[in-house]
Amino acid sequence: MRVERVLLKDYTTLGVGGPAELWTVETPEDLKKATEAPYRVLGNGSNLLVMDEGVEERVIRLSGVFAEWDLKGWVGAGALLPLLVQEAARQGLSGLEGLLGIPAQVGGAVKMNAGTRFGEMADALEAVEIFHGGRFQIYEPQELGFGYRKSHLPPGGIVTRVRLRLKERPQEEIRRRMAEVDAARKGQPKKKSAGCAFKNPPGQSAGRLIDQRGLKGLRVGDAMVSLEHGNFIVNLGGAKAQDILALVRAIQEELPLELEWEVWP
Out of 63, 116, 242, 252, the only residue in the binding site for ligand EPU (CB under 6 A) is 116
Q: Which of 58, 149, 161, 177 is catalytic?
A: 149
If one asks whether residue 141 binds ligand FAD (CB under 6 A), the answer comes out as: no
If one asks whether residue 109 binds ligand FAD (CB under 6 A), the answer comes out as: yes
Site string for ligand EPU, 188-227 (x = CB under 6 A): -------xx--xx----xxxx--x----------------
- By DSSP bridging, strand 93-94 and strand 19-25 are unpaired
CB of 103 to ligand FAD, least distance (A): 5
163 catalytic residue (yes or no):
no
* Binding segment (CB under 6 A) for ligand FAD, from list 24-32, 39-47, 169-177, 197-205: 39-47
If one asks whether residue 41 binds ligand FAD (CB under 6 A), the answer comes out as: yes
Q: Largest Cα–Cα distance of the chain, in whole Å?
A: 52
165 catalytic residue (yes or no):
no
If one asks whether residue 7 binds ligand EPU (CB under 6 A), the answer comes out as: no
Least Cα distance to 59 among 3, 131, 1, 134 occurs for 3
User: How far is Cα 263 from Cα 241, in angstroms, rounded to an integer?
Assistant: 10
207 binds, among ligand FAD, ligand EPU, none (CB under 5 to 8 A by kind): ligand EPU
Out of 6, 9, 16, 47, the only residue in the binding site for ligand FAD (CB under 6 A) is 47
Q: How many residues bind ligand EPU (CB under 6 A)?
A: 18
Output helix, strand, coil percentages for the chain, rounded to the nearest 5: 30, 30, 40
If one asks whether residue 94 binds ligand FAD (CB under 6 A), the answer comes out as: no
Least Cα distance to 165 among 98, 227, 112, 80 occurs for 98
User: How far is Cα 189 from Cα 247, in angstroms, rounded to an integer?
Assistant: 17
The answer to whether 192 and 235 have CB atoms below 8 angstroms apart is: yes
Contacts of 259 (CB under 8 A, 6+ apart): 197, 198, 199, 248
CB of 97 to ligand EPU, least distance (A): 12
178-217: which residues touch ligand FAD (CB under 6 A)? 193-195
User: How far is Cα 45 from Cα 219, in angstroms, rounded to an integer?
Assistant: 23
If one asks whether residue 231 binds ligand EPU (CB under 6 A), the answer comes out as: yes
| CB crowding 56-91: b at 16 or more within 10 Å, else e | eebbbbbbbbbbebebeebbbbbbbbbebbeebbee
Q: Which is nearer to ligand EPU, 24 or 231 (CB)?
A: 231
- Cis peptide bond upstream of 103, omega within 30: no
Q: Which is nearer to ligand FAD, 94 or 231 (CB)?
A: 231
CB atoms within 10 A of CB 146: 20
If one asks whether residue 185 binds ligand EPU (CB under 6 A), the answer comes out as: yes
If one asks whether residue 117 binds ligand EPU (CB under 6 A), the answer comes out as: yes
- State the residues that interact with ligand EPU by CB under 6 A: 116-117, 184-185, 187, 195-196, 199-200, 205-208, 211, 229-231, 260
Catalytic residues: 149, 196
